[in-house]
Amino acid sequence: MTTHPNLAVIARYADGGPGLDEATVWSVEVHLETCADCRARLAGSTTGDTRTLLDRVAADLDRGIAAGPAPVRPHRPWSAVRRRWLVWALLPWLTMTVVVLGCAVLLESVRPGLPSLVLLLAPVAPLPGVAVAWSRRQDPAWELIAGTPAAGLTMLLRRTVAVLAVVVPALVLAGAGTGLSLALVLLPCLAFTAATIALGALVGVRRAAVGLVAVWVLAVVLPSLVTAGLPVVLRPGSAGVWALATVALAGFIGARADSFRRLSSHS
């Protein structure tokens, strides 16, 4: 900080600076910017004229502020802006998922003889949403986003969480409505989501989702509907295997995180 100017200099500065050279005025001003004590001294040395002028300016400013436009509302949080596209793009797919699950619950109550449809559909329920969330066909700005540092696994996971935030509660409700074990509804669902992303690192998320849904429907859903029995993979003892698979797939995804840096031609 510069040295404090003496009271006489401050008084003369307050009076409009008669007899002060420019260099002194500058150094006083620089000092005043950083020294509250000297500002207080300056306020004490002001003349009547200056005080009337200040009052007038203050009154004018108040009037101007009152007459001017209202202050702009602070920005909405980033997340709201960010998710707007995702919300609209996902809405039809998530609605479809929830409706299908609702139909499965209805069918179960009407035809109790069949194996639980909710249980059979739970693993693949989030997959359409995940595929849409990370697809260049659905995201109009994919080429812009693909070149930014934020593009990558974190962004894919954030979008996947948005899908799961809708699908998991729907599954919990459907499971509770039909009295199923929650672990057997949710763990396969998480394992399949992880598998989609893991496989997506190799062949693209959309292809991975389509492939996994096809394999699950052909290998598990159709046979169990034909034989009218619950498949081995969804019997109560298999929950541990599903949990293990989820953890293993998550580890694989972590190791292949850099595969999601580019939206390759097959995503």
Partner 1 sequence: MMRMVSAAETAPTTYPWAVQAEGLRVRAGRHLAVDGLDLALGVGVHGLLGPNGAGKTTLMRALATVVKPAGGRLTLLGESVDGRADLRRVRRGLGYLPQQFGFYPRFTVREFVEYMAWLKEMPKTMVPGAVQRAIDRVGLTAKAGARMKTLSGGMLRRAGIAQAIVNDPEVLLLDEPTVGLDPEQRLDFRELLRDIGVDSCVLVSTHLVEDVVAACTDVVLVNEGRLVHQGTPDSLIAEGGAGDAGDSPAERGYSALLRRHRAEAGK
Which residues in this chain contact partner 1 in the complex, by CB under 8 A? 78, 81-82, 84-85, 88, 139-152, 258-259, 261-265
Instruction: List all residues 6 or more positions away from 263 whose beta carbon is below 8 Å from its beta carbon.
Output: 136, 142, 143, 145, 146, 151
CA 155 to each of CA 45, 86, 88, 260, 265: distance values in angstroms, whole numbers, following the listed order: 61, 12, 17, 9, 18
Q: Choose among 107, 108, 104, 111: nearest CA to 125.
A: 104
CA distances from residue 249 to 50, 147, 191, 242 in whole angstroms, order as listed? 75, 27, 8, 10
Q: Can you tell me which residue has the tokens 């109550």?
A: 109
Q: Which of 87/106 has CB closer to partner 1? A: 87
**CA 207 to each of CA 26, 101, 265: distance values in angstroms, whole numbers, following the listed order:** 70, 23, 11
Which residue from 131, 106, 265 is spatially nearest to 193, judged by alpha carbons? 131
Please say which residue, 92 or 240, places its beta carbon nearer to partner 1: 92
At closest approach, how far in Å is the CB of 198 from partner 1? 16
- Residue among 106 and 141 whose Cβ is closer to partner 1: 141
CB of 103 to partner 1, least distance (A): 32
Instruction: Pick the closer one to partner 1 by CB: 12 or 206.
Output: 206
Tell me the closest approach of the beta carbon of residue 90 to partner 1, in angstroms.
14
* CB 46 to partner 1: min, Å: 33
Least separation in angstroms between residue 196's CB and partner 1 is 21
Q: How many CB atoms lie within 10 A of CB 108?
A: 20
